[in-house]
Every structure is written in C-alpha cells, then in structure tokens.
Amino acid sequence: MDVGEEQPAPEPGGHRRGGERRPGSALLGGLLVVTMLLGGVFLLAPGADRDDLRRLLGMEQDRLSAPLPVRSGSGTFKFLHTQRGSDEPVSYSPCRPVRYVVNPEGAPRDHLELVQGSVRRIEEATGLVFEYAGETTSRNFLARALDRSDPVLVGWATPEELPDLAGDVAGVAGSTMVSRGAGRREFVTGMVALDRDTFHELMGSPSGRAHAAAIMDHELGHLVGLDHVDDRGELMHPRGATQGRFGPGDLEGLARLGGVSC
C-alpha cells in the first residue's frame, strides 16, 4: 500500500489501515519504520461541531503558541494529506492540546522518558502543544476513530497482536482524520505502536537508546502528518532512524504542520 495515498475512502464506523513491508535485514541499523493510516473520514454535520460553530459566528480561536518561522527549501518533506485544492497540510489543531496516553504493558525501561523526549522535540519543531493524560490499559490501537475525544495512544506490541509490526518493522503510527462541515480536515486522535522486542533490545545500550529515540521521533512525525521521503538526509526516510535526528526537510514540514490555522 502506498502510505502517501490521498483521500482514504469514507468508511463511517470503521477504520482503514495500511503499512508497508520490505524484505531486508533485521539488523538494528536497517529497521524499517512505517506509517499506518488510520481512520475513515467522518463527516460531521455543519454546525454540529463546536469549532465550526465558532467559525460561523466569526469568533477567533486562540492558538496555543505562535506559528514557528518556516525555513524553506533546503530539504525534502512530504505530507500525508493536504486540504483539498491546497498545499496546506492536514494536521492537528494548534488551538487544542494533542492529548496522549501511554500503555506501559510490554514497554521498555524508562519508556516514559523516551516518549516525552520525542514529544518535546515534536513540540519544538511544530509549535503544537501535547498534553500527557496518564497511563492507560487500552490496547485499542486500531479503532481510534470511534470517539474523537480519545487521546492518542502510545504503546508497545508484538506482531502477534499487530501484524503490521511483523518482519523488521520497528513501529507504526497514524492519525484519524475528520472532515468538518466546511470540508476542512484535521487529525483528532491517533496511535503510535512500537515493536516490543526491538525496543527492549535497543533500550539496553546507549547507542541503542539513541536509535530508539530516533524511531520514536520518526513515528511522531507520521502522527502529526509527515509522509516518507526518498532522501537519506531526512529522518522521514523509511529507514531514516539511522539518521538520528530531524533533517532540514523534516523540520520545514513539521513547522508547516504546526502553522496551520485552527
């Protein structure tokens, strides 16, 4: 499946997911990190949504932080989705915190530090504000479209539970997109699932921990709307976790994702 495929077919009440798999080395240096597209597009009736109502009434919404400056042109980036007829990316609303929960089951040692380090880097790169909503026992990775008030779920799983983690896939991530009354689309919730055994192995050594952090950064990049690019200088290369940190194109894309209107 093309992970950059636009316009998932409306599938009210259901979800669609995709991943990609490539044969190859299972060596840690070659770990593949993929995106999973979640979510049908849920069409909300005009006026049924509080934000749309505010917009209709001409009420300004307040961003949680000022848009970041965008440094253009020195790298490669691609968005998973753009607004119809526009190159503006689909993203989370900069007027609401991105709430997330973490399921500690099967998680490696120091997992919260790992997650929150990546969250901090994504916040710095996008200007979006994340809010930790605590631990959860939920393992409902694939149905985070049923209730738009669901927080983003971060957790660790095995390929037996999530077949998309089979082979050398280290993580999958994606967000559920809703289409609002005026046709404007945004992400409202999502999930990041990391391969349990891979992360246990990586978190056992300092270099492995850096690699685990890079995989987490890559997955959060997908969560907020970045697609893969065929550029080895970017963390959003399918095997970009070896890159270690966000490249210039990644950073431009992330700044644009955080710069959307609410």
Q: Which C-beta is closer to Zn ion: that of 31 or that of 41?
A: 31
Q: Which C-beta is closer to Zn ion: that of 34 or that of 257?
A: 34
Residue 3, φ and ψ in degrees, nearest 5: -70, -15
* Residues in touch with Zn ion (CB under 5 A): 33-35
Q: Which C-beta is closer to Zn ion: that of 51 or that of 217?
A: 217
| Cross-strand partners of 157 | 195
- Residue with the CB atom nearest Zn ion in the bound state: 33
Q: Which C-beta is closer to Zn ion: that of 55 or that of 218?
A: 218
Q: How far is the CB of 84 from Zn ion (least distance, A)?
A: 25
Q: Where are the beta strands (DSSP E) in 40-135?
A: 42-43, 98-102, 130-135
Q: How far is the CB of 226 from Zn ion (least distance, A)?
A: 9
Q: How far is the CB of 167 from Zn ion (least distance, A)?
A: 14
To 10 degrees, what angle do helices 248-258 and 111-126 make? 80
Report the run of H or E that residue 215 belongs to, with start and end: helix 206-224
Rounded to whole angstroms, how far apart are CA atoms 230 and 234?
8
Tokens of 124: 């710095």
Are 145 and 40 in contact by the 8 Å Cβ rule? The answer is yes
Q: Which C-beta is closer to Zn ion: that of 167 or that of 181?
A: 167
Q: How far is the CB of 37 from Zn ion (least distance, A)?
A: 11
Q: How far is the CB of 86 from Zn ion (least distance, A)?
A: 24
Burial class (CB in 10 A: 0-12, 13-18, 19+), 160: exposed
Q: Which C-beta is closer to Zn ion: that of 110 or that of 230?
A: 230
Q: How far is the CB of 34 from Zn ion (least distance, A)?
A: 5
Nearest-10 Cα torsion for 261, 100, 82, 72: 70
